[in-house]
Structure 1
Amino acid sequence: MKIIVLGAGQVGAGIAVEMANEANDLTVVDQNPVLLKKLQDRLDIRTVVGNASSPTTLIDAGIEDADLLLAVTSRDETNMVACQVAHSLFSTQKCLARIRSTDYLQYPALFSPTAVPVDYIISPEKLVTRHIQHLIEEPGVLQVLDFIDGRARMAAVEAKSAGSLLGVRLRDLPSYMPDHEFRVVAVFRDNTSIQLDGQTRIQVGDEVFFIAACEDIAAILVGFRESGKRYKRIIIAGGGNIGEKLALSLENNYQVKLIEIDEAHALHMAKTLQNSIVLLGDAADADLLKQENIENTDVYCAVTNDDEANILSSMLAKRLGARKTLCLINRSSYVDIAQGSAIDIAVSPAQITIGALLAHIRRGDVLAVHSLRRGAAEAIEIKVHGDRQTSRAVGRSIGKLSMPEGVSIGLIARGEQLVFPHKDVCIESGDHIVIFLTDKRRIKDVERLFQVGVTFV
């Protein structure tokens, strides 16, 4: 696939790393030659220095025969104009754009073939807000991901000694929770994926990934750790786009306080939010946090645009007694350092956005992609097509599929039915399959397994 990426920032660079390792013809465009040089030193890709929305620049990048344009610069207007130019002058097959401003997003009619021809809009703030909201709705999880149009979720949890399922063989788990169907798809022990079979037992400290119907997640979580109280009191540090959207999404179900350092913006937030308390001040002010009873706060969410400020205020909040700290971190190099210290969950907007983009880049009918464990693992939802003659999977039982190492099928959606697979379940055309890859480098093998071949024998 010939792909042009406009923008070499966190998202553009992340996409370049993902796709360059998958034998794609990739060109990255940016006005900053230093960013492009860093990418070229790491990856075997083409780069073009120039204005991303300029027809001349796009021609230099190879737009005339490109399969896909990803406009992910930091400016919405540049992304929109680039898609317009690509569609109008070069009939580019597919254009995706990152749009951040709510001024544009509140008018869906703006994005259409007869207006601004964007085939798919990526809104990082919307994606990140939904991700954090899910983490708050499911106490105790490290990650929680939606599949099958929100009917199923995959959750990651660190196993604790109080969990009733610890020490139980995987084959015996159903008998311990007969009212809740689920499947463990991966276990990481000491940051390494372990081989799973029916005899595997969950140990304290394991990072367990499992998938279940949405309504069963909370009950199953209790099996891997102590029963977690539902969160009630939330403090949000930062009233930017994400902070505002997060407060709006939570304030009707939780006691929300939002801290904003800019007076004019704090006044705007006070008018916008109906059931939240808006505080003017510095989230790194220990006296302010104590005054607002940080020791009784269930979740402290640091979501400003400053990574260092988020990390430091989260560490302070934890030291002062916050039950859980959640920190927004843009720099990927900071994520691994921060997570697991005083910061319970580090959220990477770039990784979340990249996952949404990958769903439109992967070959085959891929409906959802989630990047896991800081990009090392991946979970995808794929729709199966073909028949026994044209597909390596259709009409065959899971036990007879040549599944790559480290790849497991977690769930099959067949119409309205959710099927938790075992080796005798046969794949049918039209099935939606949720697949977990402990090593995302296996994605090509998965695509080949489920792709339709006209002359497959």
Structure 2
Amino acid sequence: MNIIIVGAGEVGFHIAHKLSRENDIVIVEKKPEKIKYISEHLDVGAVLGSGSNPAVLEEAGIKSADMLIAVTDSDETNILACLVANFISPHISKASRIRNPEFIRYENLLGRSFLNIDLIINPELEAVKSILKLLEVPGASDVVDFAGELVRIIGIKVDWEQLVGIKLKDLEKKVSHKLLIVAIVRNGQLIIPTGEDKILLNDLIYVISKGEKTCHILEAFGKETKPITKVLIVGGGIVGVTLAFELEKRGIQTKIIEKNPEHCAYLVEKLEKTTVLEGNGTDLTLLREENIQELDYVITVTGEEEQNVMISLLAKALGAKRTLTRINKTSYLPIISAIGLDNIVSPALSAVSALLKHMFQKKVLSVMPLGEDLQAIEVMTTTVSNIIEKPLKKLKFPKGTIVGAIVRNKNVIIPSGETVILPEDRVVIFSTTEAIPKVEKFWR
């Protein structure tokens, strides 16, 4: 596809990074230093100027483009870019980043009835959804559902020495559950493992299992799975206030720290059951007074990732059971595990996930990025597919891919080499980002 991305911020850069291997990308950005950075780090085209300027969009190739993705920090600029694109090239598919809840309330105005925006992306709200999913599954580092929650992918940090050194082919006997490890992240490097690979301390492993077995799997890896009851949120921005509101509805005791006095007054008015504390999340005295060692989670979601990381590290040092840290800069993600943080949430990755689901919906049922270099794809087989009714071990899947699960008539199959795929099976495939084009070609 020919894709124009308006805005080279963190979200725009990450989308370009994910899509540039398989598509022709042109980025429109009005700041020269960002154009320079993009040109040095990505193999994409770049045009200097405003994405709401018709002449700039024409220079970027809007008339021959298949899709426009407007993800600047300004909702108004993004909406205007889609309006201009709709006028110049009515056939083009349009996605827009819109953060203001007041705009989102008028989704019909932005959608088919007027501006023809095909997808509205709100990274902050997508991040809240990711946080809530993690809170539903205490002990997991990452959670992704497929096939209506019949299949669940669980990211687990290995810190239980009883499992260290075990070969993957022997793991089922040790944990007494049917599971499949589809990926290992070790020292920042992604491994698509074989049965001969061993589990090492501090590995981040991705396990696929039946949804109802989640707690059993986590307990088998030495994780605590008691429901969340007490949470402290640091940062009262869009993510913080939305998360607090959702936790209130779930009956979870919630406190929120916000340093801006005026915004604290707004939070008190907005939230009914949440305790609002005025202060700085890096204040050790304040953290001690809140007895964070008694809390289930400390969630840091200010707009500054350096501060989020610092607060989470302080919370861990003071005895917090688990931390969840908002990271905006995706370049930080590979080192997060190394410095001792538990869960992370990235609005940029959440936005990419929403966009990929939209882009792939005609080809596949679902697609989900897991970290930097791993993607999970859910596809449906057809009667004319040349891979059906053949054992998996005889199918030459591209290097860097693995079939993680098959859903057949609502039954979940964790496959072996002897398993065969039948028509209308839902198949969950894991692949490195680099191998995605080969997976698509293979599946076609």
Do these two structures clear the TM 0.5 threshold for a shared fold by scoring above it? yes
Deviates more, 1:166-175 or 1:244-253: 166-175
Check the 8 A contact 1:64/1:92 in 2, yes or no. Answer: no
Provide the C-alpha distance between the structure 2 equivalents of 1:263 and 1:113, rounded to a whole number of angstroms.
41
CA deviation after TM superposition for structure 1 residue 328, in Å = 0.9
Provide the C-alpha distance between the structure 2 equivalents of 1:160 and 1:341, rounded to a whole number of angstroms.
14
Taking a change above 3 Å as real, the CA distance of residues 102 and 149 of structure 1, as seen in their structure-2 partners, is farther
Deviation track 1:216-268 (CA, whole Å, cap 9, x = no partner) reads 21111111124444332210001110001111122233211011111222122
2:403 counterpart residue number:
409
Check the 8 A contact 2:364/2:377 in 1, yes or no. Answer: yes
Superposition pairs for residues 64-79 of structure 1, below 5 Å? 64-79=63-78
2:368 counterpart residue number:
370
CA deviation after TM superposition for structure 1 residue 407, in Å = 0.8
1:420 counterpart residue number:
414
Provide the C-alpha distance between the structure 1 equivalents of 2:135 and 2:259, rounded to a whole number of angstroms.
24
CA deviation after TM superposition for structure 1 residue 114, in Å = 2.0
Matched, 1:60 2:59: yes
CA deviation after TM superposition for structure 1 residue 34, in Å = 1.6
Deviates more, 1:153-162 or 1:298-307: 153-162
Higher relative contact order (CA 8 A, sep 6+): 2
1:455 counterpart residue number:
none
Matched, 1:183 2:180: yes
Deviation track 1:168-222 (CA, whole Å, cap 9, x = no partner) reads 75366178535xx432212344544556444555444332211223332111111
1:206 counterpart residue number:
203
Deviation track 1:20-69 (CA, whole Å, cap 9, x = no partner) reads 233x2211111112211211122332211222122222111111111111
2:240 counterpart residue number:
243
Check the 8 A contact 1:404/1:445 in 2, yes or no. Answer: yes
Aligned amino acid, residue 19 of structure 1: L
Deviation track 1:146-170 (CA, whole Å, cap 9, x = no partner) reads 2223443211102233667983753
Deviates more, 1:57-66 or 1:186-195: 186-195
1:90 counterpart residue number:
89
Taking a change above 3 Å as real, the CA distance of residues 41 and 175 of structure 1, as seen in their structure-2 partners, is closer
Matched, 1:36 2:35: yes
Matched, 1:448 2:431: no
Provide the C-alpha distance between the structure 2 equivalents of 1:364 and 1:108, rounded to a whole number of angstroms.
23
Taking a change above 3 Å as real, the CA distance of residues 192 and 9 of structure 1, as seen in their structure-2 partners, is closer
Aligned amino acid, residue 314 of structure 1: S
Check the 8 A contact 1:368/1:382 in 2, yes or no. Answer: yes
Superposition pairs for residues 15-34 of structure 1, below 5 Å? 15-22=15-22, 24-34=23-33
Aligned amino acid, residue 20 of structure 1: S
Aligned amino acid, residue 233 of structure 1: K
Check the 8 A contact 2:232/2:255 in 1, yes or no. Answer: yes
Taking a change above 3 Å as real, the CA distance of residues 204 and 31 of structure 1, as seen in their structure-2 partners, is closer
CA deviation after TM superposition for structure 1 residue 4, in Å = 0.7
Provide the C-alpha distance between the structure 1 equivalents of 2:399 and 2:168, rounded to a whole number of angstroms.
21
Check the 8 A contact 2:121/2:354 in 1, yes or no. Answer: yes
CA deviation after TM superposition for structure 1 residue 368, in Å = 2.8
CA deviation after TM superposition for structure 1 residue 346, in Å = 3.0
Check the 8 A contact 2:137/2:225 in 1, yes or no. Answer: no
SS in structure 2 at match of 1:323? coil
CA deviation after TM superposition for structure 1 residue 323, in Å = 1.4
Taking a change above 3 Å as real, the CA distance of residues 422 and 73 of structure 1, as seen in their structure-2 partners, is same
For structure 1, the residue ranges without an aligned partner over 5 or more in a row are 452-457
Check the 8 A contact 2:391/2:418 in 1, yes or no. Answer: yes
For structure 2, the residue ranges without an aligned partner over 5 or more in a row are none
CA deviation after TM superposition for structure 1 residue 417, in Å = 3.0
Provide the C-alpha distance between the structure 2 equivalents of 1:204 and 1:293, rounded to a whole number of angstroms.
30
Aligned amino acid, residue 292 of structure 1: E
Check the 8 A contact 1:237/1:243 in 2, yes or no. Answer: yes
Provide the C-alpha distance between the structure 1 equivalents of 2:119 and 2:173, rounded to a whole number of angstroms.
40
SS in structure 1 at match of 2:286? helix
1:356 counterpart residue number:
354
Paired residue total: 443
2:293 counterpart residue number:
295
Check the 8 A contact 2:62/2:88 in 1, yes or no. Answer: no
1:219 counterpart residue number:
216
1:454 counterpart residue number:
none
Taking a change above 3 Å as real, the CA distance of residues 72 and 149 of structure 1, as seen in their structure-2 partners, is farther
